Chain A
Amino acid sequence: MSTISDPPSGSFQLSMLINDTRYRSYTFQFIALILLIMAFAYLGYNLLANLQAAGLNISYKFLGEPAGYDINQTLVDYTSQSTHWRAAVVGVLNTLLVAFLGCLMATVIGVFVGVLRLSDNWLVRQIMSIYVEIFRNVPVLIWILIIMAIFIAVLPQPRDFRGEDAAASMVFGAFAFTGRGFYSPAPVFGPGSSVVVAVFLASIAGIFAFRRYAKKALYDRGQLIPTLWPSLAIFFVPSILVFFVMGRPITLDYPSLQGFNFQGGIFMRNSLIALWFALSIYTAAFIAENVRAGILAVSKGQTEAAASLGLRPGRIMNLVVLPQALRVIIPPLISQYLNLTKNSSLAIAVGYMDLTGTLGGITLNQTGRAIEAIFLLMLFYLAISLAISAIMNVYNNSVKLKER
């Protein structure tokens, strides 16, 4: 029984704009739009008036001019004669580098701690929960500065390695842990090394192929093929064989103390490590909580059912619990990755030259183009954030429960 009658279709009255729900939303939106435009106009007017009073203009020409400053860690070619834009690109790459390393390590530590928090061992559980609480409840900036303080105050400086009875010495003659960063041997690729690298890459592909085959065998024929030892064999044996057959084309370049610093080898700067470690252990505390919640979210019955099928505890975790927990864990994990990436902007506190350090730091200071530089800075971060969440969402969709 439909009693809904059309509202009186009388002529349109002005009061209906407020009293009639059909039109009211238009009124509100109109008002909101007007207010928004007015606010922007007001801010824009102020901006123009201020710029005019200060004799400034908005211009992005500075991006094409030589930057004039040096950057200590560059993943692409850069000299002080490169442009400000190039400096910004160096900064973006450094941001992505530390974010990538940080996410990797945070995930490893986070999963490890999260699983241990559910351990049978009371003592381990307590230690892990103390870790989580301490790191979650103290600002990440403080952790970054503390790790930097360890570098500055505790680790020996290169000068301590000098002399006959030096206060510090290299570990195995190959690694140097100094207050300026870590030095380790770097591989030097001689002629013929490409073959070794190719074989190495091929054996990694081989491992994946073998594991896929093993899985297929398990599902199709119920045949359980051990994967661990064959994988390790594939990983090491061919590469090492080829390495010796080709006459050891890859050598190591050991760092050595020359002049003021160690020269040669791979150098990881203290600012990178401080930032990387601090972001990792801080974010890992949050990830651990997500992992724990994810595992707890898998109902006890699943574990018991798996146990009653005769699976060993390790396999229960790998085959039954974790795949299900993953679906709960991944969405908060994405937001932790995003947080880590955004927190990497604290690099400026330890002088790591990320995007905030180049574009939002030195470039801004040198050119004085504050509005332009900060606008670009925000756009870059927005793009990075959107890209990460897009990629992670694709992954999330691929592991999501497929409902049939």
Chain B
Amino acid sequence: MKKIAILGAMTAAGLSAGVASAATLDDVKARGKLNCGVTTGLVGFAAPNANGEWEGFDVGVCRAVAAAVLGDPAAVEFVPTTGKTRFTALASGEIDLLARNTTWTFSRDVDLGFEFVGINYYDGQGFMVPKALGVSSAKELDGATICIQTGTTTELNLADYFRKNNISYEPVPIETNAEAQPLYLEGACDVYTTDASGLAATRAAFENPGDHVVLPEIISKEPLGPLVRHGDNQWGDIARWTLNALIAAEELGVTSANVQELAASAGENPEINRLLGTEGTLGAMLGLEADWAVKAIAAGGNYGELFEKNIGENTPIGLARGLNAQWTEGGLLYSPPFR
């Protein structure tokens, strides 16, 4: 049965092999679903809830893009990826967009042939230790056993940091966050290191989060952002400007609550009008409908709403906005103008 399916697929695929694969937008529209790569499970960023529905900050980006392109935030197929599979999945076309707290680095952008469409979370690598150890600084970690998630920039940063400070450590490589958790909790490693946001998310899932502290040192810059394949600029633009639309919406005060009202007719603020498609033809330039941004914002709210709902201070994860505040409030979020 399966063999026949393969044969059938091969023949069908062979017939269509001549078709150019560059137009991701057309593929997505034809499929009616956006294939979005996420983590295998990191509460707050992307994890299935009790009903098997994906939820989280990265998931929100996927849903916004799906809403902008297909008009339906539910038209997303979430593909869980690990550190190992994420880039292949994107390069081979298995997914259209990778939103998996991936650090924007030079070699990933240039050598691996991907295009980061922006930054949705400014992060840095930190350390978590049990309070009982009485450690207050990463410099005191000489000789400690450290759990690291492999396949991330964290293990390179870690090696650099410890070499620079001339202290030794024992690396314990772990494939996924889920596997690291019991090792850390049972004391098989003294320290768990990953992005500070990931540490907060992991700690939130512990039975007694209060027993663990995140050390003050942030040893690296980890700009996390969604990425697409190199070479399909239209698709890259769509992803980039959907993210920008979410950020700009917060700056302009457009929320999921008032977006429909504001989009009903052209208002006084021309930037809002252009963003929501009541003025100008920004949507058509992207190859989308005029109200693409309305749908994207309505899907899960603007950047600030997504943040508060998934990882903000009122959630168990409890992250402060910090660097991820709008530039007007001392943060780094700065959307280029919509015009």
Question: A interface vs B, CB < 8 Å?
Answer: 42, 46, 49-50, 53-56, 68-72, 79-80, 151-153, 157-160, 179-180, 258-261, 263, 270-271, 348, 351, 353, 357, 361-362, 364-366, 368, 370
B92, B172, B230: the one contacting A50 at CB < 8 Å is B92
In the complex formed, the residue of A with least CB distance to B230 is A55
In the complex formed, the residue of A with least CB distance to B155 is A69
Q: How far is the CA of A353 from the CA of B111 in the complex (A)?
A: 26
Most buried by B among A72, A271, A365: A365
Could you give 12 example pairs across A and B, Cβ below 8 Å? A53-B22, A55-B231, A69-B156, A70-B162, A72-B173, A153-B182, A179-B186, A180-B145, A351-B173, A362-B151, A364-B84, A366-B151
In the complex formed, the residue of A with least CB distance to B180 is A351
A55 and B159 contacting across the interface, CB-CB below 8 Å: no
CB-contacts of B148-206 with A (<8 A): 150-152, 155-156, 158-160, 162-163, 169-175, 182-183, 186-188, 190
Most buried by B among A69, A258, A261, A370: A69
B336 in the interface (beta carbon within 8 A): no
B113 in the interface (beta carbon within 8 A): yes
Q: Which residues of chain B come closer than 8 Å to A72, judged between CB atoms?
A: 170-173
In the complex formed, the residue of A with least CB distance to B175 is A348
B210 in the interface (beta carbon within 8 A): no
Q: Which residues of chain B come closer than 8 Å to A370, judged between CB atoms?
A: 87-88
In the complex formed, the residue of B with least CB distance to A258 is B143
Additional 12 contacts, C-beta under 8 A, given A54-B92, A368-B112? A46-B17, A49-B17, A55-B229, A55-B231, A56-B91, A69-B155, A152-B183, A159-B132, A179-B187, A180-B145, A259-B142, A364-B151
State the Cβ distance, A36 to closest chain B Cβ, in Å. Answer: 16
In the complex formed, the residue of A with least CB distance to B91 is A54
Q: How far is the CA of A71 from the CA of B17 in the complex (A)?
A: 43
Contact with A along B42-65 (1 / 0, CB 8 A): 000000000000000000000000
B173 and A362 contacting across the interface, CB-CB below 8 Å: yes
Q: Which residues of chain B come closer than 8 Å to A42, judged between CB atoms?
A: 14
Q: Which residues of chain A come closer than 8 Å to B175, judged between CB atoms?
A: 348, 351
Q: How far is the CA of A71 from the CA of B188 in the complex (A)?
A: 17
Q: Which residues of chain A come closer than 8 Å to B143, judged between CB atoms?
A: 258-261, 263
B163 and A80 contacting across the interface, CB-CB below 8 Å: yes
Q: Which residues of chain A come closer than 8 Å to B141, judged between CB atoms?
A: 260
State the Cβ distance, A112 to closest chain B Cβ, in Å. Answer: 31
Q: Which 9 A-B pairs have the closest CB atoms?
A: A365-B151, A55-B113, A157-B187, A80-B159, A54-B91, A260-B144, A259-B143, A68-B156, A368-B112
B21 in the interface (beta carbon within 8 A): yes
Q: Given A80-B159, A364-B84, do A53 and B21 touch, yes or no (CB 8 Å)?
A: yes
A357 and B144 contacting across the interface, CB-CB below 8 Å: no
B173 and A157 contacting across the interface, CB-CB below 8 Å: no
Q: Which residues of chain A come closer than 8 Å to B14, judged between CB atoms?
A: 42
In the complex formed, the residue of B with least CB distance to A50 is B92
B32 in the interface (beta carbon within 8 A): no
Contact with A along B324-339 (1 / 0, CB 8 A): 0000000000000000
B80 in the interface (beta carbon within 8 A): no
Q: Which residues of chain A come closer than 8 Å to B163, judged between CB atoms?
A: 79-80
Q: Given A72-B172, A365-B151, do A50 and B93 touch, yes or no (CB 8 Å)?
A: yes
B108 in the interface (beta carbon within 8 A): yes
B83 in the interface (beta carbon within 8 A): yes
Q: How far is the CA of A80 from the CA of B132 in the complex (A)?
A: 31
A153 and B186 contacting across the interface, CB-CB below 8 Å: yes
Q: How far is the CA of A68 from the CA of B155 in the complex (A)?
A: 8
Q: How far is the CA of A54 from the CA of B95 in the complex (A)?
A: 13
Q: How far is the CA of A55 from the CA of B158 in the complex (A)?
A: 30
Q: How far is the CA of A80 from the CA of B91 in the complex (A)?
A: 28
State the Cβ distance, A302 to closest chain B Cβ, in Å. Answer: 51
In the complex formed, the residue of A with least CB distance to B141 is A260
Q: Which residues of chain A come closer than 8 Å to B183, judged between CB atoms?
A: 152
B229 and A54 contacting across the interface, CB-CB below 8 Å: yes
Q: Which residues of chain A come closer than 8 Å to B83, judged between CB atoms?
A: 365
Q: How far is the CA of A270 from the CA of B132 in the complex (A)?
A: 23
Q: How far is the CA of A159 from the CA of B188 in the complex (A)?
A: 10
Q: Which residues of chain A come closer than 8 Å to B169, judged between CB atoms?
A: 70
Q: Which residues of chain A come closer than 8 Å to B92, judged between CB atoms?
A: 50, 54
Q: Which residues of chain A come closer than 8 Å to B93, judged between CB atoms?
A: 50, 53
Q: Which residues of chain A come closer than 8 Å to B156, judged between CB atoms?
A: 68-69, 366
Q: Given A69-B156, A153-B186, A180-B188, do A261 and B170 touch, yes or no (CB 8 Å)?
A: yes
Q: Which residues of chain B come closer than 8 Å to A351, judged between CB atoms?
A: 172-175
Q: How far is the CA of A50 from the CA of B188 in the complex (A)?
A: 42
A68 and B159 contacting across the interface, CB-CB below 8 Å: yes
A54 and B230 contacting across the interface, CB-CB below 8 Å: yes
Q: Given A55-B113, A56-B91, A362-B151, do A70 and B186 touch, yes or no (CB 8 Å)?
A: no
Q: Which residues of chain B come closer than 8 Å to A69, judged between CB atoms?
A: 155-156, 159, 171
Contact with A along B265-301 (1 / 0, CB 8 A): 0000000000000000000000000000000000000
Q: Which residues of chain B come closer than 8 Å to A68, judged between CB atoms?
A: 156, 159-160
In the complex formed, the residue of B with least CB distance to A71 is B171
Q: Which residues of chain B come closer than 8 Å to A270, judged between CB atoms?
A: 188
Q: Given A72-B172, A152-B188, A258-B143, do A362 and B155 touch, yes or no (CB 8 Å)?
A: yes
Q: How far is the CA of A55 from the CA of B173 in the complex (A)?
A: 30
Q: How far is the CA of A213 from the CA of B174 in the complex (A)?
A: 54
B113 and A56 contacting across the interface, CB-CB below 8 Å: yes
B21, B112, B142, B187: the one contacting A159 at CB < 8 Å is B187
State the Cβ distance, A261 to closest chain B Cβ, in Å. Answer: 6
Most buried by A among B142, B159, B160, B230: B159
CB-contacts of B105-149 with A (<8 A): 108, 111-113, 132-133, 141-145
A54 and B173 contacting across the interface, CB-CB below 8 Å: no
Most buried by B among A153, A259, A270, A357: A259
Q: How far is the CA of A349 from the CA of B182 in the complex (A)?
A: 14
A261 and B144 contacting across the interface, CB-CB below 8 Å: yes
Q: Given A362-B155, A365-B84, do A260 and B173 touch, yes or no (CB 8 Å)?
A: no
In the complex formed, the residue of B with least CB distance to A62 is B111
Q: Which residues of chain A come closer than 8 Å to B133, judged between CB atoms?
A: 159, 260
A46, A153, A180, A357: the one contacting B173 at CB < 8 Å is A357
Q: Which residues of chain A come closer than 8 Å to B87, judged between CB atoms?
A: 368, 370
